[in-house]
Amino acid sequence: DDMEQARLVRWALAMAYDREALNEQLQAGLGWPTYIGFFSPKDPNWDDKFKVPYDPQKAKEFLAQAGFPNGFEVQIFGQSDTEIRSEIADAVGGYWQQIGLKVTVLHYPYAVFRPSIVSRSNVVPHINSCDDSRTPNPWDWPRALTFTSRTRGGFSCSVESPFIAETFAKVAGEPDPAKRLAMNLELLEYLHHQMLAAGTIAVPDLIVWNPKSIREWQMRPGRFCCFNSTHNIMPAR
């Protein structure tokens, strides 16, 4: 029963903020809403059934159903030294206050926070891309490693799920891409149902080059996506 109570709370929190407004107000509409960590809604395999609606009234109902009709106190870590995580945390915290929560947003650098996620002692929700969530990796690749015990001794995202760990191992050992994709779609169903990694917004990376100097530059999918594959640069003629 307490596991279901926690799931309802996670769903309430995930439904309580307006992702479209976050994207428009915080980055002038240059990004897009995200709903479930590790799975991009821009991918051809995405199904809109996994969208998380903005529904503060339903969020309040879920809180009441979970036994918190008057809300509760919660902290959010808004990392102050990376991208716009601090601003996103402030905005999400404001939305959560509107459904009755008493929210404190913590603003300090990642170096202060990191020991708690390495030691698996953190109990504070945080805005983070959790490694795999910041990549354009194909959907059949293993994912969500940082939501398992397999990264102990290093970075984590404050969740250790046996199901995710088992799925990661199965996908990593499966040579058939169609079967890998099917397994990862089951993982997406699980993450959506449990709402373990509620999305906020995607923060796009901007890479530009002078077309008079570079004619073409094919980049490979990668763990941190961005600037890579310099050996593929084709000079302009």
DSSP letters, 58-94, are HHHHHHHHTT-TT--EEEEE--TTSTTHHHHHHHHHH
- Encoding tokens for residue 64? 């009441």
| Cα angle 215, 42, 23; round to 5 | 100
Report the chain's mean pLDDT, rounded to a whole number: 92
> What count of Cα atoms within 13 Å lies in the side-chain half-sphere of residue 151?
22
Which one has a higher pLDDT value, 214 or 219?
214
Residue 131 to residue 112: CA distance in whole angstroms: 19
Q: Is 83 exposed, middle or buried, given 0-12, 13-18 or 19+ CB atoms closer than 10 A?
A: middle
Instruction: Using DSSP bridges, classify how beta strands 201-202 and 32-33 pair: parallel, antiparallel or unpaired.
Output: antiparallel
The whole-number pLDDT of residue 162 equals 97
The pLDDT tens digits for 15-69 are 999 999 999 999 999 999 999 999 999 899 999 999 999 999 999 999 999 999 9
For 159-212, write each residue's pLDDT tens digit. 999 999 999 999 999 999 999 999 999 999 999 999 999 999 998 877 788 889
Which two three-digit tokens encode residue 170?
């199965």
The alpha carbon torsion through 7, 128, 204, 139 (nearest 10 deg) reads -60
CA distance 198 to 193: 11
> Which pLDDT tens digit goes with each residue over 97-153?
999 999 999 999 999 999 999 999 999 999 988 877 777 778 999 999 999 999 999
Q: How confident is the model at residue 225 (pLDDT cuts 50, 70, 90)?
A: low
CA-based angle 67:57:96, to the nearest 5? Answer: 75
| Predicted pLDDT of residue 226 | 64
pLDDT in the model for residue 223: 55
